[in-house]
């Protein structure tokens, strides 16, 4: 009996260790690809993954689930976006796009790579009125093989949506095949088939939970590079392409108070990817970025700033949302703070800007909070960096010239850190900066704010 008990104790211990190891491997994966957040349990995250992967939604890390996590996949997008079908409003304003290939994978002929990419673009050209032309210089879409994912080696590729530039990167460490009819194997990925998928993102489509869709994030042997009817419908809806005529961006009749008629914005803030506010003079508009298209509720907006945020002056100079979702508004020498969800001024406010943010001048033009305890304040051609947990909060090497960000700008009207990107607004144009290149202007900018942000 004693030996019998020891046997089961050892068996239980081994199984428990295996379970812990499985969880330790699964959790980083679930976090990396957006299934697990601070507000979800492990079981909920696993269930979301299983739903996207077409598995039974048990919420358990069973054998089929673990196996699916080892399948080569795309790194674009987040799983929350799946049911929305398309990345609404993120679309190209033109139909004649150029692309270049900045580097090539090892052990593949350049000509065969070029042909596989060309055929992948042609798949999308066949169902739309897009044209795609390969060029050697600057292009709308850059394609490369610079990904070297150490933590997730099965990450085959990733692409940015149009609003972020549309560039595509493939895993430079993977083994690739340029044979368009050969399906993926355990060790070799089909470049043509995965390129069709990534180009879909570059045109604005999200991942699909439909297993036969080219936009499924998992590159299994069943993925063949053919564009599924559901993908075709989504693209044509996104670009308003009819079956009988060329596409045209939606045209709307706007009132004089429409956000589309603005000549500048005073501030732009975001509480989430789905809740964005734009301010001009004494009014503001709310942008719901995930509706059927990016649009404003013209019946409800604009609204008066002081009617919603009680205690504010009629107009503001700038505003930002901090890491705790508290909102700061600035006007002249004063600032106002509103706690998240509150429409009345926080206790002790308004305060002088110098008291709340020592070292920061009055009459601020724009504020940029990077969500990392560092906030930038812009005034005229200068800017200041404010560190919350340091003394002094503003280093002695400030102010600095705004030309360090972009030599073309001498001042900005507004700024925002949104979806891990930095945006500057001047007049009715905007500039985007990648977080890792925060001192270098990213190509293809400026762009018109009304078109890309307001769907005008």
148 labeled part of a ligand binding site: yes
Residue 360: partners with Cβ closer than 8 Å, 6 or more residues away:
353, 354, 377, 384, 386, 394
Q: Are strands 189-190 and 176-177 parallel, antiparallel or unpaired?
A: parallel
201 labeled part of a ligand binding site: yes
Residue with the two structure tokens 């304040």? 377
Residue of 400, 333, 407 lying closest to 363 (CA atoms):
333
Q: Annotated catalytic residue: which of 198, 257, 372, 393?
A: 198
167 labeled part of a ligand binding site: yes
Residue of 315, 332, 228 lying closest to 267 (CA atoms):
315
Reading the block at residue 232, the tokens are: 């075709």
215 labeled part of a ligand binding site: yes
Residue 367: partners with Cβ closer than 8 Å, 6 or more residues away:
318, 319, 320, 328, 330, 375, 376, 377, 378, 415
Residue with the two structure tokens 């020592």? 358
Active site residue 198: yes
256 labeled part of a ligand binding site: no
413 labeled part of a ligand binding site: yes
Contact 96, 83 (CB under 8 A): no
Q: Are strands 318-321 and 327-331 parallel, antiparallel or unpaired?
A: antiparallel
179 labeled part of a ligand binding site: no
207 labeled part of a ligand binding site: yes
Residue of 406, 449, 452 lying closest to 166 (CA atoms):
452
266 labeled part of a ligand binding site: yes
* Secondary structure, 3-state, 360-396: CCCCCCEEEECCCCEEEEEECCEEEEEECCCCCCCCC
Q: Which residues contribute to the annotated binding site for Ca(2+)?
A: 157, 165, 167, 266, 268, 317, 319, 413
* Residue numbers belonging to the annotated binding site: 74, 148, 157, 165, 167, 197, 201, 207, 215, 266, 268, 317, 319, 413
Q: Could you give the residue numbers annotated as active site?
A: 198
């Amino acid at each position: 009996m004693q030996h019998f008990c020891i046997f089961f104790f050892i068996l239980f211990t081994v199984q428990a260790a295996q379970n812990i190891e499985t969880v330790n491997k699964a959790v980083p994966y679930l976090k990396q690809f957006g299934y697990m957040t601070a507000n979800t349990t492990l079981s909920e995250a696993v269930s979301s993954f299983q739903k996207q992967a077409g598995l039974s939604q048990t919420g358990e890390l069973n054998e089929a689930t673990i196996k699916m996590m080892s399948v080569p996949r795309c790194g674009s997008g987040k799983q929350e976006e799946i049911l929305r079908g398309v990345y609404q409003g993120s679309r190209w304003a033109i139909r004649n796009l150029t692309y270049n290939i900045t580097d090539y994978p090892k052990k593949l002929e350049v000509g065969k790579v070029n042909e596989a990419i060309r055929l992948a673009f042609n798949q999308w050209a066949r169902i739309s009125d897009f044209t795609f032309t390969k060029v050697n210089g600057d292009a709308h879409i850059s394609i490369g093989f610079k990904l070297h994912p150490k933590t997730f080696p099965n990450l085959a590729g990733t692409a940015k949506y149009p609003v972020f530039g549309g560039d595509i990167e493939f895993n430079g460490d993977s083994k690739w095949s340029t044979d368009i009819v050969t399906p993926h194997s355990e060790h070799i990925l089909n470049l043509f088939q995965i390129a069709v998928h990534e180009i879909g993102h570059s045109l604005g489509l999200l991942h699909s939970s439909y297993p036969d869709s080219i936009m499924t994030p998992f590159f299994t042997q069943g993925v063949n590079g053919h564009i599924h009817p559901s993908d075709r419908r989504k693209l044509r809806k996104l670009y308003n392409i009819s079956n009988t005529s060329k596409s045209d961006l939606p045209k709307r009749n706007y009132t004089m108070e429409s956000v589309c008629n603005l000549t500048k914005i005073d501030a732009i803030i975001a509480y989430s990817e789905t809740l964005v506010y734009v301010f001009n003079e004494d009014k503001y508009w709310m942008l719901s970025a995930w509706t059927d298209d990016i649009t404003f509720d013209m019946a409800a907006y604009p609204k008066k700033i002081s009617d919603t945020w009680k205690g504010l002056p009629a107009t503001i100079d700038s505003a930002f949302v901090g890491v705790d979702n508290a909102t700061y508004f600035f006007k002249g020498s004063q600032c106002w703070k509103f706690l998240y969800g509150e429409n009345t001024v926080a206790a002790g406010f308004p305060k002088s800007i110098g008291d709340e943010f020592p070292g920061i001048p009055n009459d601020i033009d724009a504020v940029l909070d990077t969500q990392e305890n560092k906030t930038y304040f812009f005034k005229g051609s200068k800017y200041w960096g404010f560190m919350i947990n340091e003394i002094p909060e503003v280093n002695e090497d400030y102010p600095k010239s705004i030309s360090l960000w972009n030599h073309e700008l001498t001042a900005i009207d507004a700024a925002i850190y949104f979806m891990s990107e930095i945006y500057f607004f001047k007049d009715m144009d905007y500039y985007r900066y990648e977080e890792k290149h925060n001192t270098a202007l990213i190509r293809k900018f400026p762009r018109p704010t009304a078109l890309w942000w307001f769907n005008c």
